[in-house]
Structure formats: C-alpha cells, structure tokens
A and B are shown apart, each in its own frame.
Chain A
Amino acid sequence: MLDPAFLSRLEKLALRSRARATGARQGGHSSRRRGQSLEFADHREYVPGDDIRHLDWHLYARLDTLFVKLFEAREDRTVQIVLDRSASMTGSKWDAARVAAAAVSWASLCTLDRVQLFVADRGLKAEGRPARGRGAIHRIFQYLQGTGTAGRTDLSGASKGLPPARAGAITVLISDLWDPQGVEEAIGRLAHRGGELHVLHVVDRRELDPSHLSGDLTLVDAETGEELNVSVDKTVRGELAAAAADYFATVELLCKRRGIGLFRLDVSEPVEDRIIEWLRAADEQAGRGSASRVGALRR
C-alpha cells in the first residue's frame, strides 16, 4: 500500500505529543514515571530496599550520603486514527486519506505505540483491537485496502463512539470536514476527551474552484442525493471560492482556539511529501511545546 522508501522515511518520524505518555506498557516515549530507561531523571536518598545498583557512588564520595539515581520510564501511548469514509471522500481524497492513515499507523507502530483505526460515517466503527508492533501494519493495510467510501458524514455522532483517551494519547482526524451539521461540535468533543487532537483536512482544490463547471447545472450531493439547480458562471464560481475560504477560516479559528493541530492535505500535491512535512512539523511543535501550532502547520 505504501512505497518502501516512504515507509523507510516514516520510520524516522513519529507523531509526538506535548504531554508525556502514560501507557501501561513500556514504550518509546518518555513518561512521568521513573523507570529503567537510560534517561537520568533525579536523585533521592537511599532507603533500604533500593537497588544498590542505582547508588550514585560519586555523590557518596563527595557528600558521604547515599543517593540513588532515578531514571525516566519509557512508556507507550495510544494513537487513535479516525478516518472519514463518507461518500464525500470518494475519489482522490479517499486515496490520500488512506495513505495518510497508513502512514500515521506505520510511524506510530514503529515507535511502539498502540494504534487503533476507526472509520466514521454516520457512526464509528473500529478496525479491531489496538495494534502494537510493526507486524500489525499488515492488518491495518488490509483493512484500509478493503474499505471504501459510503454513507453520510456525521462527525459529531461518530465522535461520541470514540473511547476515552489517556493523557498523552493522540487522536488524528482525517476528513474533508464536509459535515452538514458542522464540525465545531465534533472537533470540540474530540478535543475534550483527553489526549491530543490532530486534524488532517483533506482538500480537493477542484471542489473549491470548479472551473470545469459552467452553465445551467443540476448539482447532486454525493452523500444525500439532494439536488440543486444552479447557473454557474464566473460570479458564482467566485462566490463559491469565497464561501470556501470563509469555511476554511472558520475551521482554522476553531482549531487555533482549542490548540488543535490542523494540517491541510491537498490531494493535488504529492501526498507522501505532504505527510512527511506534516509529521516533521508536528514533531517540531511537540518539542517546542507551543500552545497553538495552527499557524506553523499551515503552509
């Protein structure tokens, strides 16, 4: 499903969270807990029962007091991918979305995270149990390849079915955000359920500037079958582009206020490069601890 070279590039990247991981198992992310990793965290006075292998003999020589060295624990975390599979995603947008989902899955599995894939239309359906380890990628690939677009978009309803996330969990929403009910409620619910939310907005430029459409048309909604008679000319196309810009600005403002990472994936551009670009930017933002990364993530 993904090119080996692309997979190789993804191995070096990971979707990092600003919050430290609180996973149940040992993983690849630093944790607030002390553990067995090589990352030094602190000292404390020795108490009987402590592993004497962790005594800091250099400090004892200087201070004549026994201290033990504490190390950070390395824990895993959960990456939940919500993939919009509504009928509006049909076409190149669906191809790009699947590639993005596969790429995030592979990058996460490579960092020993647990990955759980959900597909959303009017409801939410989990791909299976959370996957862990590189070997699980084949299962995810197979699922993605076997899944097509259908149904209406109801991100708000779908988000209700998503299990709660622990601190440090990452949720990635991959969607074109064409939700007749609006995306504010859905994004708000996903943002408040814990963890960190990334929105990967899949965009097809031709939908926003339909220069191939002109004259008297009957437009048919791909999801609902609803029809609308419209005479398309330059003016109408200009107004459509303006409405799209307003809509996108609303989404950006929404994400910015909630500190949600928003990245726009234009299907007319090389998808793999854009995904790499996104992961790098997200990595930088996580390291910088920026409260809002919307501006930086936007091209």
Chain B
Amino acid sequence: MNFANPAALWLLATIPPLAAMYFLKVRRRRVQVPTLLLWSQVVRNQRQARPFDRFRRHLLFLLQLLALLLLTFALAGPSISGDRYLGHSVVWVVDGSGSMQANAPGPSRFALAQQAVLDGVGALQGGDEGMVLLAGPEPRVVASFTRDHEALAAAVRSMQVTGATSSLADAVNLAVALTHSRQGRTMVVVTDGSDPSLQRVVNEHPGVRTRLVGKDAPNVAITAIDLRRSPTVDLESELFVTLRRFGGDSGPVGVEVSLDGQLLTSETVDLPADRPVARVYRGLGTTGGLLRVRLETGDALKLDDEALAWLAAPRRRRVLCVGCTALTGRALAVDSRFQLTAASAASPAEEATYDAVIYEQAAVPERPGAPFLALGPSALGDTPLPELVAWPQVTTWRKTHPAMRFVEPSALAVSAARAGATAGWEPLLDSDAGALLSTGVHGGQRGLMLHFAPTASDLPMRVAWPIFLLNSIGWLTGEEARGTQRTVAAGSALVREGWGDDGEEVRLERPDGSVLASPIRDGVARFGGLDQTGVYVLSGPGGRRERIVANLVSQMESDLSVLPPTPPPEQTVTARAAVAGRLSLLRPVLLLCALLLLGEWWLYQHKYRD
C-alpha cells in the first residue's frame, strides 16, 4: 500500500477530539412527564431484549466517523502496486520510417503496425486511456492521452508513414517525458526493427515492450547519390550513385538515369549480395535539370529504388574585383566557375551586371550594385568602421556558415584590423577585440566583410585563403547551392541563411503539394525533418526560389531484415519496480465513502428521524 500524500493521514488526529466532543456534549433535553411508570418499563425491557441498542443510538455517529476515516484515507492517495496493475494507460510509439513502407508481403509494414495499434485500442477497457506517437524524422504526438477510444482509433488510421529515417529513441524519450506523471503506464513500440536505436530503447527502458511487424525480405536500394564537378570537362558534373543488395542472392539490376524525364542512359549492373557497388554517370550535359536514377527491381521497398539529384545549369559567375591584388586574382582563377574582371573603380550600374563584386583596397559605395565581398575596407559607405587594432587574437568562428566551410582560422595572425561590431552585421569570425569577419546587408545587397586587409595577415599564405574566397563568392552568387545543399537525405533538417530579414517568411512546398512556412529568426530559416522523398521548392522574400531534392539513401532503412532487439540483461529489482504499475484506490475509497454516507442518510431518514 502506497500513499501519494501521506501527510493527509494527520487528519486522523482530529477524530479523537471529535469523538470526545460527541460523547461529552450535553445534549439531553429535559422533559417533564406525568409518570415514569411506563417509561421505566419500556427502558427496562429494551435493555433486556436488545443489549446492543446502546450502540445503536451511536450508529449514525459511528458511520459518520467511518466516512471521515475513509475520506482521510482517500485524501492520502492510497494505491497498491504490482505487475498485475499494468495497462490502464497505454502509449504506442509507431515506427514511421521509410522501411515501414515495405510490403510485408501483402499490406505494408506500416499498415500492419496500424492494425496492431488498432487491436490494442480495441482491447482497452472502458476507463483505460491511450496515446499514440509517430516516430518520424521528428517524433510527433498523433493522439494525446484520451479515453475516447474511437478518436484514438481514428487518429491511428490517419497516421501517414514517412519516407525518411527516424529515431525511435527520440520518440520513446519524448513519450517517457510526456507520461512521466502517469503511474503504471505501458509503452509499446511497434516497429520493424530497422532502427538501431531500438536496442538502446530496450536497454534504457526495460518496461518498454516491442511489437515487431513484417518479415525479412531481400531488397535492392540506392544507398547514396551525389553530384560533383567533372574534373575533366569544364562546367560539367558527374553523377555518383551507390547501389546495394540487402539479402538474397547476387544478380543483375537494371538502372535508368534520366534528366527531366529524358532517358540519359540505362544499364544492367550485377549486384553481389550485401556489398555496395558505386556507379559514375557522365555526360549529363550543361542544361541542368532534375536527375532521376531508377532501379528496375520488384523488391518489397519501392522508396529506395529511385533517387533524385538537382543538377543546376552550369554557368560561369561574373565577378568584378575592384582594386584587386594579385593574391586575390590568383586564388579565384583556380576555379573555372568564376570569371574574374579586375577594375580600379566601377559605377553601381556597371556593378549590377556582375554576379558579385570584390572590394579590395577600395571603399564600399553607399549602394553597391551586386552582392559584395569587402576585404579590409575602412568604411561601409558613409558608415565608418572601428579604429585599427593591433594583433587581435581569434577566439571563435561560425563553422556552419557556407563562407567558413573547410576554413581553419584558429592560428590566424593579423597585424592590424578594424575589429569590432558593425550595426546590423553578424560576426562570423570573432577575436578578443571584436569581429574580424562579418556578414550583413548594406545598400540592399548582402555582403561579407573582412575587417582587415589580407596583406595585413598571413591569411593569403594559407590554404584557407582560396577556400575562403571561393566559399564567399560561391555563397554570394548562390553557386554553393549547386552541391550537397540541394540534394539532401530525407529526414534531415533544412536550414537557410541570408534569405531575408528577421520576421520575413520562407515557405517550403513539399512533394505532396503541402506548404510549410518558417519565419526568419536571427537571419536563419529552419524547417524540421524532410519526411518525404521528392522535390521540395523553397521560396523566400523577393521571389527567391530554390529547388531541393530529398532521397531516402539509408542503408539502415533499406535493410529489410527484421531483427528483434536483444533483451536487456537480467533486470535489477529497481528496474522491475520501475515497470510495476500502480492501482489507485482513490476512486473505490471515495465510492465506499459515498455509499456509507448514503446509507447513513437512509438510516437517519427511515430509522432515526421522527
């Protein structure tokens, strides 16, 4: 027997005084009668015939006392614990990953999972409650705890499987957090066992039960896809695809590659069992478009038989360099994507004909004509920059920004820099004296500003210099989006910087046509896990658009082996106690109390009331 609120038992201390007050209270009314002749006889007979009648007159008080005891007991929150009291609150965590789309055979694994949950919902008793979570790229509560079993079943039927990887551990952790206050709840994970985090779930939460759906099935899948610049043909790209057969015997598989629906090539590839095979496809042309790789298989999972890649139309970016030094020019010349034009000065109208402008040893005009990279400017238009600081020491930098990708500035030596904050600009590289590299918008153009002249540092002598320049120009001209950022794995989050000012909105159109919107905060627009495979269209302020493709490309999801998790080692007593449920006695005790008071009222009305 457990008490949720044992302090309430102190109320029992009030019972002895109450009883004393009841018995000591002078409450007899004096009534004069002509004679006690008959009264004495009645009382004498009564005492002889019913010796317990002296208690009968206190019966109502005793019943009230008992009711008070029960009420105190109820306030203390009594409950009994034990394994047999599991199951009044049930949480189902349904695996919604891409592998659940596999045919079982027959209905898909996800359909089987839905049916398993529906069976569980149907087995709930009247007072039982249920909750359903879908484990997708991000765990989602499909139905909160409810005793409306029909609503619960409807929510289960409305669940949609995703085309992405998922984390059962995250979903279970969320469910545990949400049901922390529920004593004796049961959690059932319905999955095909493809998620390796399932083993961690079983180990960390011994009370979680696993319901496996589906059967082992062979599968051929595209496990990787990527576009790279062709090292041999200028402005062209090569398509890299990795194929793999999971289970079954080796055999040929037909592969088709098409661009915007036009078949580029097809071939038959011999795939050995359980070994990846990489394929490279060239001659993709320079028109750009949507590349589609399709496998001719009849396996259980169709989702991984197709992969997409977005091939941007190759175009040289025109970059104007105002006051460029030889170091800068040589660094940019290594990349044929950029066509550099040097000038000592340029009007905004001239600048507008370029994709980007580099200001080196030149003032940044009040209204630049294109996105710009300023190298060691003394001012931004009319806005002066901080005074020169000698030998600032690098402290932190933003690795995630495209301009800083693969740039290692930790040991950078700068003799003099106008380090410091610039209003409205975000630092990307910080020093003990202030920002050394920052990004922001000036004169309606986004820009990157290096707060020191490259020649005042050892940066041009480092490998990071050309990388930084190419990153920066690529980011300013949008060239960086040609690569991995436009072909992602389903389930990954989508983050875009520099798409507008805070408060503006970026919209994401999903493959199924639905649209998500995300406000820009701190210059960043974020979207949760892309849970479908296919083409997403990102649109932002000023008509800016970007197409992104998402593929499953996950060996974990493509491996359709149904592997039950290994049971955890022998559970400790503590673990068993955590599994054991509790049956609250509050309701029965309150019911008993109410019945007692009802009986007391009935006795008073029919036996005691005159």
Contact = CB atoms under 8 A, between A and B. Distances in A.
B39 A230 contact: yes
Interface in B32-72: 32-43, 45-46, 57
Interface of B: 27-43, 45-46, 57, 607-608, 610
A121 B38 CA distance: 20
Given A218-B31, A221-B32, A243-B41, 11 more contacts: A88-B34, A176-B34, A207-B33, A214-B610, A221-B33, A230-B39, A230-B42, A233-B607, A234-B610, A236-B46, A247-B38
A141 to B, nearest CB: 26
A90 interface: yes
B555 to A, nearest CB: 87
Contacts of B608: 233
Most chain A CB neighbours (cut-off 10 Å) among B32, B34, B36, B41 = B34
A29 B394 CA distance: 150
Contacts of B35: 88, 153, 178, 180, 221-223
Nearest to A237: B610
A222 B31 contact: no
Interface in A75-106: 87-90, 93
Contact of B31 (A88, A204, A219, A224): A219
Nearest to A240: B42
A231 interface: yes
A296 interface: no
B610 A220 contact: no
Nearest to A233: B608
A156 to B, nearest CB: 15
B42 A216 contact: no
A244 interface: yes
B36 A228 contact: yes
Contact of B32 (A211, A222, A232): A222
Contacts of B41: 243
A216 B34 contact: no
Nearest to B29: A217
Interface in A218-256: 218-224, 226-234, 236, 239-240, 243-244, 247
A232 B610 CA distance: 9
B30 A218 contact: yes
B32 A240 contact: no
22 contacts: A87-B34, A88-B34, A93-B34, A178-B37, A207-B34, A210-B33, A211-B610, A214-B610, A215-B610, A216-B27, A218-B28, A218-B30, A219-B31, A222-B32, A223-B34, A228-B39, A228-B40, A228-B43, A231-B57, A233-B608, A239-B46, A243-B41
A92 to B, nearest CB: 11
B610 A233 contact: yes
Contacts of A153: 35
Given A228-B39, A236-B42, A243-B41, A222 B610 contact: no
Contacts of A214: 610
Interface residues on A, range: 35 or more
Is the contact region of chain A dominated by helix, strand, or loop, or is it mixed? mixed
A215 B29 contact: yes
Given A216-B27, A231-B57, A222 B42 contact: no
Contacts, number: 87
Contacts of A229: 28
A216 B61 CA distance: 14
B57 A216 contact: yes
Most chain A CB neighbours (cut-off 10 Å) among B27, B30, B32, B39 = B39
B572 to A, nearest CB: 62
A5 B42 CA distance: 44
Contact of A219 (B27, B39, B607, B610): B39
B37 A217 contact: no
B34 A222 contact: yes
Contacts of B34: 87-90, 93, 176, 178, 204, 207, 221-223
A285 B489 CA distance: 125
A132 B45 CA distance: 50
Contacts of A240: 38-39, 42
Most chain A CB neighbours (cut-off 10 Å) among B30, B41, B42, B607 = B42
Contacts of B27: 216
A226 B36 contact: yes
A216 B45 CA distance: 18
Nearest to A152: B35
A243 B36 CA distance: 12
Contacts of B607: 233-234
B445 to A, nearest CB: 98
Nearest to A176: B34
B38 A217 contact: no
Contacts of A204: 34
A294 to B, nearest CB: 22
Contacts of B37: 178, 180, 247
A218 B43 contact: no
A213 interface: yes
Nearest to B34: A88
Task: For the complex of A and B, list the 6 residue pairs with the smallest distance between their C-beta atoms, beginning with the closest.
Answer: A214-B610, A88-B34, A178-B35, A221-B36, A218-B28, A243-B38
B30 A220 contact: yes
